[in-house]
Amino acid sequence: MTELYADVTGQPDAVALLKRAVARPVHAYLFLGPAGSGKRAAARSFAAALVCPDGGLHANGSSTCESCRRALAGMHPDVVSVEREGAFIGMSAAREAVRSAHVSPLESQRKVIVLHDFHLVRDTGPALLKTVEEPPSTTVFVILADFLPPELVTIASRCVEVGFSPLTIDQVAEVLAAGGVDPRRAHLLATAAAGRLDRAASLASDPEVEARRDAWYSIPARLDESNVTAASIADELIALLESSASPLVARHLEERTNLAEANRRASEVMGAPKRTKGSRAAKGGKAGGPAMAELDDRQRREARRQRADELRAGLAVLAGAYRDRLAASAGAENAQRARIDSEDALNAVGLVEKCARDLEFNPGELLALQALLARLSHRR
């Protein structure tokens, strides 16, 4: 059986705090730490323990019960996960969180509202503040944020903060190797994922990781002062971005096929639902019902996250290539040439890092890459 927190690596203090908190939970918790540090996995287990009849402490030790397993699988009615739909947490997501918080639990003694990517809350923070500050006595908020922006400070002051430290490359590599990945490749994947365990695990089934990494690293050597070259390389990077989704697309197709087959078997046993005049099926809506609609929503979120992660990782490799040039320039014999090269490399790193930050809030990928590479072309 799956154990609670079994998929949380390198966060003993956070896990210990959460295990203690289940006995007498407060109204809101803020999980604060970098992406890939285990916040999502910890939130799943914490929510499962909060809605578990035994508080996650079972007669057979730390193994999960049926309620825990449904919560971990995202199928418990008293655990509500609120995700952003675009670059920011919009008003519709904020309203959903408020509405869900005021709906009584169906099975458990409490309801858990998990708010993801809360560092992207922006203008919707005030709409959530009162509910997070004073939710119904049966509601617990679990808020996940990579960092603490100014607009989140007030809400954070009303929460118990649970800190998550970044994982080291070695920690991630050890987890992958324990799961059967070759140790050398495990270290490569952990490096490519910049210490993010979730991303490293997803890259384990991707045979093109090294090729894409090499493509990003080679950019400084390929650039000339031509904007045509910069635009051509940007097109190549977008194509690599598209192809990087292949393993995820294959998994999504398998999930849809399995769900469709499960629906077919259920229909054979229970009989097909009647197609009333006002039904979704009668209007030409998506087949598969609520389960397929929920799967579609989750897969869209995963696809968006995978694309953002891949682009962020590529830009990190590019910044690393310029840092290597910066280090190499320090040993140059010509002092004046070394100074110019080091200034150019340092400025290039700044441009790449600024592009990565801007893309998080304004995801116009092709134009952003074209502009970045054009600027870098003139700093060779």
Q: What are the pLDDT digits (tens) for 252-281?
A: 898 888 888 887 887 777 665 555 454 444
**What CATH superfamily is the domain 12-163?**
P-loop containing nucleotide triphosphate hydrolases (3.40.50.300)
Residue 100, judged by CB atoms within 10 A of its CB (0-12, 13-18, 19+), counts as middle
- The Cβ of residue 146 has, within 10 Å, a number of other Cβ atoms equal to 19
> pLDDT digits over 287-315, tens only?
567 778 877 877 887 888 888 888 988 99
3-class SS at 142? strand
Q: Which two tokens stand for residue 373?
A: 């590479």
Closest alpha carbon to 23 in 56, 60, 47: 56
3-class SS at 212? helix
More confident residue, 363 or 147: 147
**Pairing status of strand 79-82 against strand 28-32:** unpaired
Domain locations in the chain as residue ranges:
12-163, 205-270+283-380
- pTM equals 0.69
DSSP 8-state class, residue 272: P
> pLDDT digits over 152-205, tens only?
788 888 899 999 999 999 999 999 999 899 999 999 888 888 888 888 888 888
> pLDDT digits over 315-345, tens only?
989 999 988 888 887 665 655 555 666 788 8
Say if residues 74 and 234 touch (Cβ distance below 8 Å): no
